[in-house]
Amino acid sequence: MEKIEKLFRKISKKDRAKLLALVNELLDKNKRQNLRTEKIKDSDFYKIRKGDFRIIFHFEINDEAVIDSIKLRNEKTYHNL
C-alpha cells in the first residue's frame, strides 16, 4: 500500500479524486458491474484502465475485490504479476 500512497501524493488533486471515485466504485459490489474490467492474460488478476492509470486487482473467495496496485501506464506495468 505504500506505493499507492506515494502515487496519490505525486498526482494532481483532480486525478486523485478520479482515482478515489474509481476505487470506491470497484469496492462496491453493486457499482462494480458498471466498470469495464478486463482479465489479465495468464494470471488471476484483473485491470481497470482510466486514462494513464491502471488499477490491478483480484477477487477473494467471497467476491471481495482486493486492490494489488495502482500504476501509471508504462512498459513495466504488467510485469511481476
**Domains of the chain by start residue, with CATH:** 2-72 (3.30.2310.20)
Q: Is the pLDDT of residue 16 over 80?
A: yes
Q: Is the pLDDT of residue 80 over 90?
A: no
CA gap 67, 7 in Å, rounded: 14
pTM: 0.80
User: What is the 3-state secondary structure of 40-62?
Assistant: CCCCCCEEEEECCEEEEEEECCC
76 - beta bridge partners? none
Q: Is the pLDDT of residue 51 over 90?
A: no
Residues whose CB falls within 8 Å of the CB of residue 51, separated by 6 or more in sequence, listed in order:
15, 18
Backbone angles phi, psi at 63, to 5 degrees: 65, 25
